[in-house]
Amino acid sequence: MQTIKAAVCHEFGAPLVIEDIQLAPPGMGEVEITLDAVAICHSDISYADGAWGGHLPAVYGHEAAGIITRVGGGVTGFDLGDSVVVTLIRSCGTCPSCASGKPTICETPHNTVKGPLRTAEGGPLDQAMSCGAFAEKVVVDQRQIVQIPSDMAKDVASLLSCGVITGVGAAVNAAGLRAGQDVVVIGAGGVGLNAIQGARIAGARRIVAVDMTEEKLEIARSFGATHGVLASDPTPWKASYKALGGRGADAVLVTVGAIPAYEQAMRYLGRGGKAIMIGMPHSGAKAAYEPVVMAAIGQGLIGSKMGDVVIQRDIPWMIDLYQQGRLKLDELISRRWTLDQINDAIADTKTGSAKRNVILFDRDPAGN
């Protein structure tokens, strides 16, 4: 076991504590990655606030990038010194879901409390979401990582681990958008902006962004939205219909975990349209629908976890689009912070104004 620094959650809703923890060496099929950057996702915040329960103490964080510094037995295709992104998608590769090309819903359980992390005293410490990346290093399964170009900035690359693949993947994989279709994206935060990019890449005719502020709608336009609608409008779906030329959308991508957004989503849809459920409400929260309407005009609800991606397939082409200038990544970063500033970064993220805040290791927040 080696000692590293990590931001540990000891109590739901309380500030994270920067402290020493123990990290085990990589086992069979695992790699150790020394991190350069980890982005803060709203899922990390929700977990730390107790929205979905879980074991404590825990280390959250799951949008990371770094360098492989140790390799366990049985690892193939990766070498010491490789630059990689780290995801929470720990897939077995053999269960029915994995075998059918859906590793994001792998059916093989993994006990994260009995993973590679221990407290400084040797007690149990949850490697939350199979990552525990609010730390200087992680040990993860080789299926959770994808190699990236060595010259790609790690803070930018870390965004590919969740926010980008979730948003772009929801448009391309879950919604199955094709050229000429119309799309509504509810929420113009980090995932929403990437859903907008995904819709643009897929060739959508018109893309309507829905959010609470004009500032965020303007940002959404810079990422590819053709129209913006304020969610505070008493009937925002009517404004969306007008923007789409008097018709409903072919797909509505709900990227926020707010119940009102879910309950209104179907109002934006046209005949045969489908709502893609991406944002994660707290456990126990419920939305109500009138199923007879959906049945009568062929509408549907589809859940999408992590954009339904296969990371080894999808992350490389997204990097390619980024290198061509067709996928925005640099513009997603709102601010850079140090690990010691993580609670301030989380507070800033909670305001809703940040696209993505990124924690950098071993360098100052300006990236020098």
The reply to whether 365 falls in a domain is: no
> What are the tens digits of pLDDT across the range 29-45?
999 999 999 999 999 99
Is the same domain home to 7 and 148? yes
Are 7 and 155 within one domain? yes
What does the longest C-alpha to C-alpha distance in the chain come to? 64
Number of separate domains in the chain: 2
The pLDDT value recorded for residue 363 is 47
Q: Do the bridges between strand 83-86 and strand 2-8 make them parallel or antiparallel, or are there none, so unpaired?
A: unpaired
**Same-domain check for residues 197 and 335:** no
Query: Do residues 235 and 145 share a domain?
Result: no
Domain span including residue 261: 168-305
With respect to residue 323, please indicate whether it lies within any of the assigned structural domains: no
Same domain membership, residue 259 and residue 285: yes
Q: What is the pLDDT of residue 365?
A: 42
Residue 253 lies in a domain: yes
**Model pTM score:** 0.94
pLDDT at 362: 75
> Residues 120, 266: one domain?
no
Give the CATH number, domain containing residue 135: 3.90.180.10
Interval 201-223: pLDDT, tens: 999 999 999 999 999 999 999 99
Considering the domain architecture, whether residues 32 and 61 belong to the same structural domain is answered as: yes
Same domain, 295 and 347: no
What CATH number corresponds to the domain at position 228?
3.40.50.720
Co-location of 19 and 51 in the same domain: yes
Same domain, 186 and 293: yes
Residues of the chain with pLDDT under 70: 363-368
